[in-house]
Amino acid sequence: MDSSYYVNAETIEKYLGHRNIYVFGTGVEAEILTKKVGDFINIVAYLDNFRCGKNNFFYRKNIYNVDNYLNIVDDSKAIVIATYRFGMEIENQLIKVGLVKGNDFYFWDDANLYIQDDITTEYIKFLSEIWSLEKKCNSASKIIVPFDNKHDTQPIIFAYFANYLAKKYNASISAYLRMLIEKKDVSPVLEKIYKAININEFIDYRLSDEQCKKVEVIYNSLSDELYTWEDWNRVTIYGIHFGTTFIRHYNRYFIPQFDLKNEYTNDFLKRAVSMVVFWYDYFNNNDVKTVILGDGVASDGYIRDIAISKGIPCYTFCYMMERLCLDYYIGRSYQYFDKYWSQLTTDEQIKGIEWSKKHLENRLQGSLDEVFNISRKNFTFALEKKNERILEVNNKLKVVIFPHIFEEDSYLCGEHIFDNCYFEWLCHLGELSEMTPDYDWYMKDHPDGRRRDFIIWDMITRKYPKIKRIPAAISPHQLRDEGVKYALTVCGTIGQEYPAIGIQVINAGRNPYDCFDFTWNPRNKEEYDNIILNLRNLKPKKDIEGLYRFYCLRYLYYECAEDIFNDFFSDYPCLQINRLVAESMDKELGTWLYEEFMKEWTEEKHQKIVDGIEALLQKLDDRKLDVLYRKKRTENEL
């Protein structure tokens, strides 16, 4: 392969060190490029087909479109494409306007998606030897697995389950493409890895002429009716409710718009309808036995609900293990926590309360032992109070909004008051801020906020200037001491912490604390507004016993989907490393994980997993939401 137009942290200065660089992309890859090489190359601006605009910035630089770039007269300028999902699409766009690959533009390949390193070469051989004993079936029956354009250990997990199911059903294994990528953007290096685990084909999303006509009919029938998020939330196609999936998909990958009739949102609508049409026809025309999904939400939701509506079982094995259901969301078990409490013995209840008192107090004092590894870097209770005051000194009632990050699923615990849309909730709070002159409104950045979050939060505070943004790195104790009495979230973790330090938490949807009375849980917009507009008359919640019950169930007793995953792959720590875990280790996902897996692998461990799959799948099939399943490690923790 000609690699002269691929650059990474080691080669970019050699090729482009004296040129003015325009980075095409404003996502994760563009951020990595900026952090790694931004200090020794001259990045002038960023390019993005959808996020360009007068007031849009990325790393304090303007975001342009291709037309803006072409109008700039500069013989030393060059583009570096820093996005793997749309790389080939962007390449075609640049070639059409007369730019030359390897001269006018280059590809950022710091993730080794196009250049195969020595570790990956060894790894592909290693996988081929493991899975060559499995019969590679060319049957018309299919098992479907996810494909992500990144180097991690997920394909190993998919290999175990897909090969088991392929053998069970005499089926071949096909991969669907996640994260909005198209077949032309599939990494040739990762394609070899997937073929080594017996993937027969990568499903091509190209629509036929007949399917394009179907898309136009459905799109036209919907576009005239969608004016509000409530309208979006009601969308049904082929008798299946897709409205919430549309919103979850849109919020996760795109920048929500105030005007839901603009070109940007209409473009998304057509993409979403295209996915529905494609997968509806695909399941009609193919004998699919089982679907393995990524996390099973957002864009995975189209596949999930169409497959399940046709009686095809769907599972997720992506750092959690569950059999999926229609309209699936991760936090379904929370609505049964009061029932779980009643299923504990009296002795377990007494010990659980004592455990909660100790561990919750440690958490509130900033102990990092009380939070998951991925949360330790940004755990605000571990912060010292600042010498300078954060909030204004006055007699106004102080309210702080705690926004969610938009990359997480916007339907974590089920229905929201504001049409299952974080963005609509923020806009509504903006409107309430205009109606409450005796309140001081603040919005505290989420500690895990990323590029797109900052853009969205900035959009909100520009449109609603009564809301003042404050930084993430502030101790909750300082907020309380400066007069904050109310904290607003949809379903955030502040609900298990802030009530214990005297700050009332008001949720805006189904949340982990619904079964108890230590947070406020209005059930509709009218009830929500009545609470917010009358905060001075609100009597504080004081159900500390309920908080203790929740805390010990969540962290001590209840076996959740993540626990099942970690127990099953307990012999392979590298299989439990996702992007957030890697970041907590000050690392990025990459081919180094392959080396770790090869070190950890033994024939005995491998066979143990293979032998346990049938029982595990049966366990997931039989699992009931209203039953308390106990963690295996609880006795050691008490």
pLDDT tens digit sequence for 109-124: 888 888 788 999 999 9
Rg (CA), the chain: 25
pLDDT greater than 70 at residue 201: yes
Sheet of 141-147, strands arranged across: 199-202, 172-177, 141-147, 287-293, 314-316, 322-323
Q: Examine the fold and report which residue of 73, 108, 143 is the final residue of a domain before the chain moves on.
A: 108
Give dist(CA 451, CA 477) in Å, integer.
Answer: 27
Residue among 372, 363, 452 at smallest CA distance from 410:
452
Same domain, 576 and 527: no
pLDDT greater than 80 at residue 633: no
In sign, the C-alpha dihedral spanning 266, 267, 272, 273 is: positive
Q: What is the pLDDT of residue 180?
A: 65
Same domain, 408 and 472: yes
Exposed/middle/buried for residue 357 (C-beta within 10 Å: 0-12, 13-18, 19+): middle
Give dist(CA 6, CA 8) in Å, integer.
Answer: 7
Same domain, 539 and 569: no
Exposed/middle/buried for residue 438 (C-beta within 10 Å: 0-12, 13-18, 19+): exposed
Element (H, E) at 300: helix 300-309
- 351 band by pLDDT with thresholds 50, 70 and 90: very high
Say if 316 falls within a structural domain. no
Task: Count the domains in the chain.
Answer: 4
Say if 297 falls within a structural domain. no
Same domain, 493 and 636: no
Bigger pLDDT: 581 vs 552: 552
Element (H, E) at 176: strand 172-177
Same domain, 197 and 132: yes
Q: What is the pLDDT of residue 9?
A: 84
Same domain, 545 and 570: no
Residue ranges making up the domain that contains 242: 209-286
Percent of the chain with pLDDT over 90: 80
Q: Which two tokens stand for residue 360?
A: 């919750």
| Exposure letters 358-374 (e unless 16+ CB within 10 A, then b) | ebbeebbebeeebbeeb
Same domain, 467 and 404: yes
Beta strands in 343-423 (DSSP E): 397-401
Q: Examine the fold and report which residue of 511, 530, 555 is the final residue of a domain before the chain moves on.
A: 555
Same domain, 92 and 120: no
Q: Examine the fold and report which residue of 108, 136, 152 is the final residue of a domain before the chain moves on.
A: 108
HSE-CB at 375 with a 13 A cutoff on CA atoms is: 14
Same domain, 153 and 250: no
Averaged confidence pLDDT in the chain: 93
Q: What is the pLDDT of residue 2?
A: 57
Same domain, 414 and 365: yes
Say if 418 falls within a structural domain. yes
Give dist(CA 60, CA 523) in Å, integer.
Answer: 40
Residue for token pair 């626990």:
563
Q: What's the pLDDT tens digit per position in 18-39?
A: 899 999 999 888 998 999 999 8
Say if 519 falls within a structural domain. yes
- 224 band by pLDDT with thresholds 50, 70 and 90: confident
Q: What is the pLDDT of residue 638?
A: 65
Q: How far is CA 608 from the centre of its chain?
A: 31
Phi, psi of 480 (to 5 degrees): -60, -45
Amino acid at residue number 144: I
Percent of the chain with pLDDT over 70: 97
Give dist(CA 384, CA 372) in Å, integer.
Answer: 20
Same domain, 53 and 67: yes
Contact between 232 and 246 under an 8 Å Cβ cutoff? The reply is: yes
pLDDT greater than 70 at residue 1: no
Same domain, 388 and 532: yes
Give the torsion through C-alpha atoms of 386, 390, 396, 402, to 10 deg.
-100
Say if 529 falls within a structural domain. yes
Q: Which two tokens stand for residue 487?
A: 């904290």
Cα dist from 458 to 53, 144, 265, 524, whole Å: 14, 40, 19, 27
